Structure 1
Amino acid sequence: MTTRATILRSRAGLSRQDSDPLHPGRGQTLVEFALILPVMLLVLFGIIQFGLIFWAQITLTQVGRDTGRWAATQTVSPCSSGASAVQSQATALAGNSSLYGFPGYPVTATATWTQASGSSTCPPADNQTVWYVNITLTHDVPMVLPFLADTCTPSCKKTLSTSVQYRMEPQP
């Protein structure tokens, strides 16, 4: 004899076996999801963190290039205030270029001027001889993975650096 409940169950795709306690299977999906979720979140946050570090490295490289171009065309002799001027220019460019983690983690710039023959004395003020300016920038990028914040004290960070070299151009 077919009852109305049996007909409704068969139309809905349910059988008597699905509601039978001797045949478990109703919580299997939830358990599998609970096992896979941490791995999925780890991969997701890892992709996000990699993207942030990659973005910061590209931006830091661009700040280094712009700072190097600026330093290569200056008329002021770098003997007196060259390094501090490069640091202030790099800081200004980093602020304008939306460098990830910049306000909390500053950009450190070091600049050296070398002559093409190899001596490292200060270049003349006229920029007529071949001189090179070498700029190295370092910047710390904060880590965003939630579980790393508990293991790193006082803060988790990845140090990035970039170096550029430009020939100092003669003034027109």
Structure 2
Amino acid sequence: MDEPFDAVLFDRDGTLIRDVPYNGDPDLVTVMPGAREVLRDLRERGLHTGVVSNQSGIGRGLLTANQVAAVNARVEELLGEFGTWQICPHHPGEGCACRKPAPGLVLAACEVLDVRPERVVVVGDIGADVDAAKAAGAASVLVPTPVTRQDEVDRAPRTAPDLRSAIEMIL
């Protein structure tokens, strides 16, 4: 990745914070190892940061938008302010243009941050994150977790063992 980037977009669950399925409780937010330091380094270098996150629990009736907002507020308390939060609230069956692997969240984040997709990297833990980046014309780094399927790892153009390594690839 020799291209200089203007922004790094992160998946939320499994990437910035531990994945607690359909979490609506800010007290359950636990930061992933290295996330604070990585975000501090990116911000010190002047890069924009944002979050792109599918939150189908809203569309499934398992969470309210207010609960998701409360969890996101807790994430910002722990990790600092992000330039944009792009959330897909839809049920997977709705066929929206925003739900990853569709490019909608990434493109919306680019618009808010006023950056071109080709100057953006998406960091996530599953294939949908990588596919959304590709569909939007952005680069990606997959940071696998125990839930990442092997075929997603095999298909990803770039993988890193942890957030720190992902950011080193980007910088």
Q: TM-score, normalised by structure 2?
A: 0.25
- Answer with 1 or 2: which has the greater Rg: 1
Q: TM-score, normalised by structure 1?
A: 0.25
